[in-house]
């Protein structure tokens, strides 16, 4: 059902739980001085139009709530505040961050929360406020501040999850895991999305704080808001540190890849040099052997008319020539460090 919870409060106590929007409007009229808190989950256009007509919501804010995909912001339309928040939760199994969208309308006599995702747990916010009637008695603004506080609190597990993922990346970097590059980029994208969700809340809280005196905001609600402000500032700082860590991890990864490539090139160069030395040695011995082989092959052709065959010193001179060629070539190659 799109209507998750629907209640009318007076003096911090739930006085009615209407079964429909029409009954809510009637009950609110009977309990003058109270306010209605309507919790919707992905409402239909008809339901949103009915709520907008009853509480005279500005059409621009209604269109934003209808379309969704809005950036976090706070806008005031007369006596009505319209806030857009980006809740987030960390999914342990998938090791990723899921972002949602939450719209809050707060005005005289009403608070309307519209969720477009599973997070945040607004039932917990309602239970907490109903357990503190002195706070809930301060009106619809208490709902807005409590919702903001819950969204900020739910950023905590996201920060822990991202921190754990970054620690794992540091291990992957030095293990040479080839998948680490993609994981760094994915994590960097999640961190940027997280920053886009959290940073604007600082501006939202500052805007609310500027209106404390003008709109006579209760002192206890001011304390509530400042506590949320301190919390979100710490989270924003952590998000910025995560971004820096991932940039450093990417730089380290690039350095390690370059170093491994250089090491591989050096290894290949050394191998090539060793092979070159071996080729020199083989070529040198081949040349030394080639000269006597050439001479021997000439005299081994068994032609009938070879003048040298009739010379008494032909055989020893031939052997001496072979040896001389070999010695000369050996000396030349040795001087050139080919052997």
Q: Are 102 and 113 in contact (CB under 8 A)?
A: yes
User: For position 321, which CATH number holds?
Assistant: 1.20.58.340
212 lies in a domain? no
Q: Could you tell me the CA-to-CA distances from 138 to 112, 120, 219, 225, 339 in Å, in that order?
A: 16, 22, 10, 14, 97
CA-CA-CA-CA dihedral for 226, 227, 229, 232, to nearest 10: 180
Q: In terms of Cα–Cα distance, which of 172, 167, 191 is closest to 97?
A: 191
User: For position 108, which CATH number holds?
Assistant: 3.30.460.20
Q: Are 177 and 185 in contact (CB under 8 A)?
A: no
78, 98, 132 — which closes off a domain? 132
Is 181's pLDDT higher than 70? yes
Instruction: Enter the tokens of residue 182.
Output: 């993609």
196 lies in a domain? no
Mean pLDDT of all residues in 248-267:
79
Is 88's pLDDT higher than 90? yes
Q: In terms of Cα–Cα distance, which of 69, 309, 57 is closest to 197?
A: 69
247 lies in a domain? no
The number of distinct structural domains making up the chain is: 2
223 lies in a domain? no
- pLDDT at position 61, please? 93
Q: In terms of Cα–Cα distance, which of 228, 148, 243, 237 is closest to 193?
A: 243
169 lies in a domain? no
197 lies in a domain? no
Range in 60-74, 128-142, 199-213, 261-275 the model is least confident about: 261-275
132, 158, 180 — which closes off a domain? 132
Q: Are 129 and 143 in contact (CB under 8 A)?
A: yes
Measure the CA–CA gap between 262 and 118, rounded to whole angstroms.
49
Measure the CA–CA gap between 43 and 24, rounded to whole angstroms.
16
**Could you list the residue range(s) of the whole structural domain that residue 315 is in?**
273-335
- Helices in the chain by DSSP H: which ranges? 21-30, 45-55, 59-67, 122-130, 133-136, 140-153, 155-175, 180-210, 219-299, 314-335
Is 188's pLDDT higher than 50? yes
Q: What is the pTM of this model?
A: 0.74
Q: Pairing state of beta strands 73-77 and 35-41?
A: unpaired
Instruction: Enter the tokens of residue 335.
Output: 């001087």
Percent of the chain with pLDDT over 90: 36
132, 165, 184 — which closes off a domain? 132
In the numeric block, the tokens 């709109």 are attached to 215
Angle between helices 140-153 and 122-130 (to 10 degrees): 130
262 lies in a domain? no
- pLDDT at position 309, please? 63
Range in 7-21, 98-112, 152-166 the model is least confident about: 7-21
Is 195's pLDDT higher than 80? yes
Q: In terms of Cα–Cα distance, which of 79, 80, 61 is closest to 70?
A: 61
Q: Are 113 and 103 in contact (CB under 8 A)?
A: yes
210 lies in a domain? no
Q: Are 148 and 30 in contact (CB under 8 A)?
A: no
Largest CA distance in the chain: 144
Peptide bond into 311 cis (omega under 30): no
Q: What are phi and psi of 89, to 5 degrees?
A: -145, 150
Go through the chain and tell me how many residues it has. Answer: 339
């Amino acid at each position: 059902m799109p209507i998750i919870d629907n209640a009318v409060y007076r003096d911090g106590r739930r006085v009615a739980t209407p079964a429909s929007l029409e009954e809510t409007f009637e009950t609110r009229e009977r309990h003058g001085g109270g306010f209605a808190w309507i919790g919707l989950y992905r409402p239909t256009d008809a339901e949103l139009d009915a709520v907008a007509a009853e509480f005279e919501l500005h059409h621009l804010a209604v269109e934003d709530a209808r379309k969704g995909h809005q950036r976090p912001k706070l806008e005031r339309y007369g006596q009505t505040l319209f806030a857009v928040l980006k809740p987030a939760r960390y999914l342990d199994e998938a090791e990723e961050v899921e972002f949602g969208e939450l719209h809050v309308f707060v005005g005289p006599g009403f608070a309307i929360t519209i969720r477009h995702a599973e997070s945040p747990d607004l039932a917990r916010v309602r239970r907490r406020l109903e357990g503190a009637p002195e706070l809930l008695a301060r009106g619809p603004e208490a709902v807005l501040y409590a919702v903001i506080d819950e969204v900020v609190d739910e950023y905590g597990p996201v920060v822990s999850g991202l921190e754990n993922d970054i620690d794992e990346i540091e291990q992957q970097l030095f293990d040479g895991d080839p998948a680490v590059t993609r994981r760094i980029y994915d994590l960097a994208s999640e961190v940027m999305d997280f920053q886009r969700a959290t940073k604007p809340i600082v501006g939202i809280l500052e805007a609310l704080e500027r209106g404390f005196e003008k709109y006579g905001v209760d002192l206890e609600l001011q304390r509530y808001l400042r506590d949320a402000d301190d919390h979100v500032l710490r989270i924003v700082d952590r998000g910025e540190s995560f971004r820096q860590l991932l940039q450093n991890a990417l730089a380290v990864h690039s350095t390690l890849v370059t170093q491994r490539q250089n090491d591989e090139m050096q290894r290949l160069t050394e191998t090539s040099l060793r092979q070159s030395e071996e080729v020199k040695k083989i070529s040198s011995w081949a040349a030394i052997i080639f000269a006597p082989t050439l001479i021997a092959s000439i005299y081994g052709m068994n032609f009938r008319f070879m003048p040298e065959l009739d010379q008494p010193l032909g055989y020893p001179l031939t052997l001496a020539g072979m040896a001389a060629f070999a010695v000369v070539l050996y000396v030349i190659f040795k001087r050139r460090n080919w052997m």
